[in-house]
Amino acid sequence: MQTITEKIFSAHVGKKVYADDIIECDIDMVVGNDITTPLSIEAFYNAGAKKLAKPDNFFLVLDHFIPAKDIQSANQAKKSRIFAKEQNLKYFFDERDMGIEHALLPEKGLVMPGDVIIGADSHTCTHGALGAFSTGMGSTDLAYAMVTGRNWFKVPKSIKVEFIGKPAEHIYGKDLILELIRQIGVDGALYNALEFCGEGIKYLGMDDRFSICNMAIEAGAKSGIIAYDEVTEDFLKSRKSLRATPKIYHSDENATYKQKITIDISKLEPVVAYPYLPSNGKPVSVAMSDNLKIDQAFIGSCTNGRISDLRIAAKILKGKKIHSDVRLIVTPGTQQIAKQAQEEGLMDILLEAGALISNPTCGACLGGYMGILGDEERCVSTTNRNFVGRMGAKSSEVYLANSAVVARSALEGRIFDPRK
């Protein structure tokens, strides 16, 4: 009996494999970005390589510091552009068709169930929401796959996370994953695959599923994965072009798991993760009683920059103005999301409320550029990390929350329960 992760790897090596086996297998998707790929390119050429082993399996997305914020970031992007042209890349996404990689690639129908995916970005685990094994690696690990088309893995043990119950109002995927991380800690799933299942999954749209798998790494997991179902099928059917035929796997009923965790999502409040760890989660009612005044609110990132997040925020902000002491920054995950938001009238609502809307970028999330926090400033954010100095000054504070909490907090000037 096998887990879904063991089945995916078994299919790729041509024999049954199990947790802790050391394997080498073909990679279906290798993903780079403007921060990490230049190092991979350098290692690629230093290895004596001239051509990618599998050019159509290499996906390069410029998303962190685009448009370039300074000379160094411009030169980083230049290296990637030159490489893309030299290799005649089929899947190269620059300013013309930009988006945050973990939102853009699924949007374009390029992420397939059953694939093995690696990327030189820790949140590559996002793509597990579509039933793929997807994980982050270092830039030199990426270079090895660029040269050979393959990579090695220790097949991870799996932790089964069963969500039961139906989520109440303003409970989203972000709350489910923050609650799990609160329970097990930032190393509670170290090098394990988090397999999310249970009746509660059927109530979650694909955007919520992306949020959950995106933050698997914040529990130390190697990957996060949700098996193919009707929601997955509908999402893939809505894509204009699919890169390949989905390969569908499900865990056997008697598969072996390292651990099993059950969370009743019907009993959850919106969760707010206090500084300085994603595991420092508290119910939003506690945050309200703590009277946490904010300087900035941020909606975006590869965790929560999708169309559903903009709809949630617009519904709360419609006809209102953000607090005079608060800066609200909204970053759509892709240009297509921005276009759709414009067509639905969401952009007008956000702008009239006083939000600043940026181009798709990872910049604010990692404190790279845009929305940098000053000394002792406090931000409530839909991003995935709240480490010391994550979004700016070392004395600043980042509180993680869902889009509804962030939008309502922007109105109130302090972290606030959107259900009130």
Q: What is the pLDDT of residues 257-274, one digit of tens each?
A: 999 999 999 999 999 999
Q: How does the average pLDDT of the chain come out, rounded?
A: 96
C-beta separation of 113 from 235 below 8 A: no
Q: For the residues 237-243, what does the mean pLDDT come to?
A: 81
Tell me the domain boundaries of the chain: 4-264, 272-412
Burial class (CB in 10 A: 0-12, 13-18, 19+), 123: buried
Q: Name every residue whose Cβ is closer than 8 Å to that of residue 179 and which is 6 or more positions away in sequence.
A: 263, 265, 268, 271, 281
The rounded percent of the chain whose pLDDT value lies above 70 is: 100
Region 43-62 average pLDDT: 96
272 φ, ψ to 5°? -120, 125
- pLDDT for 4-17, tens place per residue? 999 999 999 999 99
CA angle 8, 9, 12 (to 5 degrees): 95
Percent of the chain exceeding pLDDT 90 equals 94
Pull the structure tokens for residue 285. 């009612």
Residue 395 CA to residue 231 CA, distance in Å, equals: 42
Measured CA to CA, the distance from residue 198 to residue 183 in angstroms comes to: 18
Q: Which fold has domain 4-264?
A: Aconitase; domain 3 (3.30.499)
- How far is the first Cα of the chain from the last one, in angstroms, to the nearest whole number? 47
Helix (H, G, I), strand (E, B) or coil at 29: strand
Instruction: Tell me how far apart the alpha carbons of residues 49 and 40 are, in angstroms, rounded to a whole number.
Output: 12
Q: Kindly tell me if the per-residue pLDDT of 233 is higher than 90.
A: yes
Residue with tokens 């990692």: 366
Residue 247: is its pLDDT beyond 90?
Answer: yes
Residue 257 structure tokens: 């798991």
In angstroms, the CA 132 to CA 141 distance is 19
Q: 272-412: same fold as 4-264?
A: yes
Task: Scan for tokens 């030169």, then name that residue.
Answer: 75
For residue 241, pLDDT over 80 is answered with: no
Edge-to-edge strand order for the sheet containing 271-273? 281-283, 271-273, 397-400, 378-381, 296-299, 327-330, 356-357
Give the closest residue to 199 by CA, choosing from 224, 161, 164, 173. 164
Treating both helix axes as pointing N-terminal to C-terminal, what angle do 307-317 and 403-412 enclose, rounded to 10 degrees? Answer: 30
- Asked whether the predicted pLDDT for residue 289 surpasses 80, the reply is yes
Q: Mean pLDDT across the stretch 268-292? A: 97
Give CA–CA dist 250/138, Å, rounded: 29
d(CA 276, CA 71): 31
Fold of the domain built from segment(s) 272-412: Aconitase; domain 3 (3.30.499)
Can you give the pLDDT at residue 62? 95
Torsion of CA 120, 227, 150, 214, to 10 degrees: 0
Of the pLDDT bands very low, low, confident and very high (cuts 50, 70, 90), residue 56 is very high
Helices (H), 48-197: 71-86, 101-107, 139-148, 173-184
3-class SS at 357? strand
pLDDT at 240: 74
Report the pLDDT averaged over residues 64-68.
91
Sign of the dihedral defined by the CA atoms of residues 376, 269, 362, 118, in that order: positive
Asked if 183 and 161 touch (Cβ cutoff 8 Å), the reply is: no
Question: For residue 325, what are the CA distances in angstroms to 48, 297, 386, 402, 409?
Answer: 55, 11, 21, 21, 11
For 181-224, the pLDDT digits (tens) are 999 999 999 999 999 999 999 999 999 999 999 999 999 999 99
Written as six digits, the tokens of 411 are: 């109105």
Q: How many C-beta atoms lie closer than 10 Å to residue 71's C-beta?
A: 8
- Taking CA atoms, 156 is separated from 3, 8, 94, 324, 385, in Å, by 10, 12, 34, 49, 24
- Give the residue among 106, 111, 113 at the shortest CA–CA distance from 7: 113
Helices (H), 164-238: 173-184, 206-214, 230-237
Task: Say what the pTM is.
Answer: 0.95
Other Cβ atoms within 10 Å of 219 Cβ, number: 25
* Residue 237: pLDDT over 80: yes
In this predicted structure, what is the pLDDT of residue 239? 87
Q: Go through 371-388 and write b for each residue having 16 or more CB atoms within 10 A of its CB, e for each that does not.
A: bebeeebbbbbbbbbbee
Q: What is the pLDDT of residues 304-348, one digit of tens each?
A: 999 999 999 999 999 999 999 999 999 999 999 999 999 999 999
Length of the chain equals: 420
| Separation of alpha carbons 361 and 370, rounded Å | 9
| 97 band by pLDDT with thresholds 50, 70 and 90 | confident
Predicted confidence band at 362 (pLDDT cuts at 50, 70, 90)?
confident
| 246 CB neighbour count, 10 Å cutoff | 18
Are the C-beta atoms of residues 56 and 90 closer than 8 Å to each other? yes
- Reply yes or no on whether the pLDDT at 363 is more than 90: no
**What is the predicted pLDDT for the residue at 365?**
87
* E-only strand ranges, 34-144: 58-61, 91-93, 116-119, 133-136
pLDDT in tens, 111-121: 999 999 999 99
